[in-house]
Structure 1
Amino acid sequence: MDAFEFNFQHYLEVKRSVDDLALNRQVWNVLVNHTRRTAHLPLKLLEVGAGIGTMIQRAWEWGLVDNAIYTALDLDPANLFYAQSALVRWAHQNRTHLEKKAGRYHLQKGQRSLWVEFLAADAFAPGQSPFQRGVFDGIIAHAVMDLVNLEAGLSTLITYVRPGGWLYLTLNFDGLTQFLPPLTPDLDAQIIALYHQSMDERRFHGLPTGGSTTGRALFVLGPALGLDLMAVGASDWVVSPRHGKYQPDEADFLRSILYFVEDSLSRQALISPTTLADWLAIRKEQIAHCELVFIAHQLDFLFRVPG
């Protein structure tokens, strides 16, 4: 029996290691080198859809922030509550000084300094912007753009960035999902097609979201909105057993992916519940025996705002 119970914060936790391997390091390095040449210090950063704060930790560990003020924004206060506790635990584990002052967290180690503010708000709410124009040097949107209307969302983010600032948009899904080994090829293809269709049917603020082809759409939309493409590269999720085992957290990550498939297809009601249940049962057994391989094609973009 599968005892797994989906929890969104747990999903964000277990996908940290998968994301670490997926993120395109060439694009990341272009971003780091670009920020090190800036005269705007402290760097003012906004992350939309910050979740439980794993990108904050990554930005510190991977050398993006040495002197910065970081606003972590998310729609769900539960995510941000979890993020604050996680930041405290992470700082202690990494022997990084952390104190809370006037509602903000201050990380310091040697000459490195990072102020973090958590904000529960909607960056994309029409006519209800939580920020003034041009207040940030850069914006991070990690696995976000396929969940919002692409043109409206990107246009909104551009207004928050100063001229010459940047947008770092990561893990933009681009139309390929694969579960291996194959079961019944026609059924596998049908389930994946319906899963992608569910992405394309999503709505946010009444508008269609980026959906299953967000990655390729950004190649066209970014320049059309006047953005300069500085770097782009693949950031595929690839989860596969190695030496007969998954890495820590990968099994729960895969179970979470199956939960999304089940939830999406159940809502559509375009496939027999029995057929779907049987397919899921086999895939869950494959996870239990460290046999399932999962691949999702995604793209990372770094854009510069003219000015």
Structure 2
Amino acid sequence: MAIEPYLFHDYLETKISVDDRSLNAAVRSALLDRIELAADVGGAPAAAPFRVLDIGTGTGAMVRRLAGWISRMPPERRPPRVRIVGVDSEPGSLVEAERRFAPEAGAEGLEAKFIRGDLSRPGAGWAVPGNYDLITANAVLDLLPLDRAVGHLRSLLAPAGSLYATINYDGLTELIPGYEDERYEASLLAWYDRTMDRRRLPEMAEAGSQDDSPSGVAGGRKAVPAGAGGPAGRGAGMGGGSRTGRALAGAVLRAGFDLAAIGSSDWVIFPEAGRYPARDADFLRYILAMIHGEALRNRRLAGRRLEHWYRSRREAVDAGILLLIVHQIDLLALRR
């Protein structure tokens, strides 16, 4: 089953604490160093603001996260003025982003606005070449034709601007303890990855079999991606796919970036003394629902075996015994 839009917003919120624990510390530190350098260059408060674009902003989690990081920097080490633009193609997400950013809005010198848009419309008012000092992309590049998307993002950056791309799925999803039918679960997870590799962007979608064609919900992302109406790329609109993490480093180098930092940002979710922290149990239930929803579209996987698997794995969450490991990559790249 697909996640309804209002539930998808809740899924994104359950994901925030998971991502917070998973973001690579060294890559984040390198990003903060770049922001601090901008403060040194920017000089007086009257200087131009530090400009940030967050693509696929969803409910604004990365905007809130970045605002928090900057607001906690010593005043003399942060840019005196910061302007963040969060872009998403889904209006309901933008409403949530505006509402949830309100508590952060009073941070001195920091402003954010949320705009409906996607990368297929480069003429939009927010997509101005050379306009941004930093572009953030959290868990979204697997939905875009990678080389062309990275090249387009580079064009939006000012000289020496930075691309901070995080939670890029890299081909491993593991549920522990092992399922009673290991081969069946392996087939489920392989299909789940395959939906990422075969997904087409909304305007490129073609009619296909309801039984065998992936719907585009994979890797914990939604079918109609936030901010992801990008130009056709590999395979007539294919996304970066299930190996985006390892492919991204090559894509940024080809596009004219220097790689400043790279590291893993794996999700590792486990119960502590039988209890999951924060809302991790709800997050796990959403992930299981998305795997289940994809498998329903494959007649070789759907049926009683699928329903037994789904029930068994949900019961493991309820009992506080299911672990999830997902391999992902973060990187920081600097425009040459």
TM-score by length of 1: 0.88
Aligned length: 284
User: How far apart are residue 84 of structure 1 and its match?
Assistant: 1.2
1:70 aligned onto 2:67: no
1:212 aligned onto 2:239: no
Partner of 1:166: 162
The code of the aligned residue for 1:45 comes to: V
The code of the aligned residue for 2:64 comes to: Q
Partner of 1:13: 13
**Identity over aligned residues, as a percent?**
33
Structure 2: distance between partners of 1:129 and 1:266: 38
2:134 aligns with one of 132, 138, 142? 138
Partner of 1:44: 51
Partner of 1:191: 188
Partner of 2:311: 281
Structure 2: distance between partners of 1:151 and 1:181: 37
Partner of 1:94: none
Structure 1: distance between partners of 2:335 and 2:264: 22
Structure 2: distance between partners of 1:42 and 1:170: 24
TM-score by length of 2: 0.81
Partner of 1:292: 322
Alignment deviations for residues 239-280 of structure 1 (CA, whole Å, 9 cap, x no partner): 100111001211110011011101222223331322111101
Structure 1: distance between partners of 2:165 and 2:300: 32
1:222 aligned onto 2:252: yes
Alignment deviations for residues 189-234 of structure 1 (CA, whole Å, 9 cap, x no partner): 1111111111111112531101100011112111111210000010
RMSD across aligned positions (CA) = 1.7
Structure 1: distance between partners of 2:136 and 2:327: 20
Segment drifting more, 216-225 vs 290-299: 216-225
Check the 8 A contact 2:316/2:322 in 1, yes or no: yes
Check the 8 A contact 2:52/2:133 in 1, yes or no: yes
Structure 2: distance between partners of 1:129 and 1:304: 24
User: How far apart are residue 85 of structure 1 and its match?
Assistant: 1.2
In the alignment, structure 1 segments of 5+ residues that lack a partner are 92-97, 99-106
Closer, same or farther in 2 for the Cα pair 1:127/1:14, shift >3 Å?
Answer: closer
Higher strand share: 1
Check the 8 A contact 1:47/1:72 in 2, yes or no: yes
Check the 8 A contact 1:44/1:68 in 2, yes or no: yes
Structure 2: distance between partners of 1:31 and 1:272: 44
2:120 aligns with one of 110, 125, 138? 125
Partner of 2:293: 263
Partner of 2:66: 59
Structure 1: distance between partners of 2:260 and 2:245: 15
Alignment deviations for residues 138-169 of structure 1 (CA, whole Å, 9 cap, x no partner): 10001010011111211111111011101000
User: How far apart are residue 129 of structure 1 and its match?
Assistant: 4.5
1:235 aligns with one of 257, 265, 268? 265
User: How far apart are residue 62 of structure 1 and its match?
Assistant: 2.2
The code of the aligned residue for 1:23 comes to: L
Partner of 2:200: 203
